[in-house]
């Protein structure tokens, strides 16, 4: 195994910390919502840094370690994108203002890097001392893959469970908490008492979930390489740039409806690979009398092909799936309606107006769905109610602010989804299939 010098370790850690510090002071410190252009630019920069680092590993250490790094980086990045779904649920549950979501994500990335680094060195120590750990890691990955294939729980139940994990319940039990944000402060004074703000609680929630993420991701990458330096750098570079990626693919997160199935295949594959490796290196007395088992071993090159091929297939299936497109439009419309209606989430009139215009665009997309896609709206009673309430709220706001809209409602004349027609159609379910209630 190629030995990495202390100087190389020190320079690598300093470089990673430097990128995090740069990111905080130049992008996160001042609260703002990144534009698509900003998010795309910095996402491409961080991905390029990660890919260039892989080339350095390839030529300075060997092609073998270069392939291991790329396989680990792609796997960890895929798992990190899946984690963004949970971050989105948590921030929606706590109604984190859009401008402050960067700080929450930055905190999550730093905490995740700390936890995963600890698990990496613990995992490396266990592997060096106990070969049977490969059996344990393989079993963990197979269980995780099985959990990914479970039916999705109700969205409200999911939000409730993610937002009220064990750490949050402890914080609420032993400390005074506030229901209101005070900028990005962790503490505020409420009724003369010092209290934790929702910003502190959401960061605690993110930190708690990071522990669970680390328990899944570290066994996965140890299934691809046992070189501690490669494991650490692949994990670190997969986390850097995750904040920018969140804002870049925010509207597409719901579109990747088959991603979890792809991750299940990848994790199960790596789990089997680990168990095969454990059998090959076996020294457990009750398995083949402690002798190695003559089984095939999966190479890193084969692993990389399976990982990349699986991701290409599930991403393509998700992006070209009519059902995926319809579900994305429905979920985005519901989320935008909730954001517009919740003044505690965003009270700035200009931002709320932009949210309403975004909601109208989502509504246009709903009306443009093909018949099969529109059928999914029939089960969305909450969505229909939210749209009616959002339009009524907007109309009241226009009437109450005549000076702001001297020329009248700028959105007047825009087509709106005929919610009454969909409700009427629910009374005649036999006529729903393939029909458009608005016709």
What the block records as the tokens of 95 is 């109604």
Q: Is the pLDDT of residue 13 over 90?
A: yes
Query: Quick check: helix, strand or coil at residue 194?
Result: strand
The pLDDT value recorded for residue 283 is 66
The pLDDT value recorded for residue 9 is 92
The pLDDT value recorded for residue 174 is 64
Query: Quick check: helix, strand or coil at residue 190?
Result: strand
Q: Is the pLDDT of residue 20 over 50?
A: yes
* pLDDT tens digit sequence for 289-343: 667 677 777 777 778 888 888 888 988 888 787 777 787 788 778 877 877 777 6
What b/e string do you get for 339-361 counting C-beta neighbours within 10 Å, with b at 16 or more? Answer: bbbeeebbeeeebbbebbebbbe
* pLDDT tens digit sequence for 31-42: 666 676 777 888
The pLDDT value recorded for residue 151 is 64
The pLDDT value recorded for residue 160 is 43
User: Using CA atoms, how far apart are residues 272 and 134, in angstroms rounded to an integer?
Assistant: 10
Q: Is the pLDDT of residue 252 over 50?
A: yes
Long-range (24+ apart) CB contacts under 8 A made by 294-303 are: 297/273, 298/272, 298/273, 300/64, 300/67, 300/68, 300/71, 300/224, 300/225, 301/67, 303/71, 303/223, 303/224, 303/269, 303/270, 303/273
3-state helix, strand, coil in the chain (%, to 5): 75, 0, 25
The pLDDT value recorded for residue 49 is 93
What the block records as the tokens of 148 is 């990914």
Q: Is the pLDDT of residue 438 over 60?
A: no
The pLDDT value recorded for residue 253 is 63
The pLDDT value recorded for residue 7 is 93
The DSSP string of 114-167 is HHHHHHHHHHHHHHHH-TTHHHHHHHHHHHHHHHHTSPPPPHHHHHHHHHT-HH
Whether pTM exceeds 0.75: no
Closest CA to 68 of 1, 145, 147: 1
What the block records as the tokens of 382 is 């909450």
- Averaged pLDDT score across all residues of the chain: 76
Which residues, at least 6 apart from 163, have a Cβ–Cβ distance to it below 8 Å?
89, 90, 93, 94, 202, 205
16 pLDDT tier (thresholds 50, 70, 90):
very high
User: Using CA atoms, how far apart are residues 67 and 300, in angstroms rounded to an integer?
Assistant: 7
User: Using CA atoms, how far apart are residues 119 and 112, in angstroms rounded to an integer?
Assistant: 10
Query: Quick check: helix, strand or coil at residue 49?
Result: helix
Mean pLDDT score, 347-368:
77
Mean pLDDT score, 142-167:
59
């Amino acid at each position: 195994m190629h030995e990495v010098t202390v100087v190389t370790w020190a320079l690598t850690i300093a470089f990673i910390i430097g990128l995090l510090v740069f990111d905080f002071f130049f992008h996160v410190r001042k609260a703002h919502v990144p534009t698509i252009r900003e998010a795309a630019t910095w996402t491409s920069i961080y991905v390029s840094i990660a890919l260039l680092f892989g080339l350095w590993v390839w030529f300075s250490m060997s092609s073998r370690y270069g392939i291991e790094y790329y396989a680990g980086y792609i796997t960890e990045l895929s798992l990190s994108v899946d984690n963004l779904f949970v971050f989105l649920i948590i921030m929606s549950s706590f109604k984190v203002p859009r401008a402050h979501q960067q700080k929450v994500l930055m905190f999550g990335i730093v905490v995740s890097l700390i936890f995963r680094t600890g698990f990496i060195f613990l995992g490396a120590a266990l592997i060096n001392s106990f070969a049977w750990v490969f059996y344990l890691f393989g079993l963990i990955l197979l269980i995780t893959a099985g959990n990914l294939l479970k039916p999705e729980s109700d969205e409200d139940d999911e939000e409730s469970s993610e937002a009220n994990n064990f750490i949050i319940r402890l914080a609420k039990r032993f400390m005074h908490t506030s229901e209101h944000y005070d900028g990005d402060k962790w503490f505020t004074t409420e009724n003369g008492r010092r209290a934790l703000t929702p910003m502190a609680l959401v960061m605690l929630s993110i930190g708690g979930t990071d522990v669970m993420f680390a328990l899944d991701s570290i066994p996965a990458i140890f299934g691809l390489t046992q070189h501690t330096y490669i494991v650490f750098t692949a994990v670190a570079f997969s986390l850097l740039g995750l904040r920018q990626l969140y804002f870049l693919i925010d509207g597409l997160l719901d579109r990747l409806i088959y991603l979890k199935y792809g991750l299940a295949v990848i994790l199960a594959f790596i789990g089997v690979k680990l168990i095969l490796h454990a059998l090959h290196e076996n020294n457990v007395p009750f398995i083949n009398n402690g002798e190695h088992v003559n089984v095939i071993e999966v190479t890193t090159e084969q692993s990389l092909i399976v990982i990349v091929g699986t991701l290409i297939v599930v991403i393509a299936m998700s992006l070209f799936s009519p059902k995926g497109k319809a579900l994305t439009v429905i979920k985005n419309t519901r989320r935008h309606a909730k954001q517009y209606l919740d003044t505690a989430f965003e009270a700035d009139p200009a931002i709320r107006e932009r949210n309403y215009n975004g909601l109208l665009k989502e509504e246009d997309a709903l009306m443009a769905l093909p018949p099969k896609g529109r059928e999914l709206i029939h089960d969305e009673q909450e969505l229909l109610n939210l749209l009616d309430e959002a339009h009524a709220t907007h109309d009241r706001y226009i009437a109450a602010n005549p000076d702001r809209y001297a020329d009248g409602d700028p959105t007047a004349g825009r087509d709106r989804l005929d919610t009454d027609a969909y409700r009427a159609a629910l009374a005649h379910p036999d006529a729903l299939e393939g029909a458009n209630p608005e016709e």
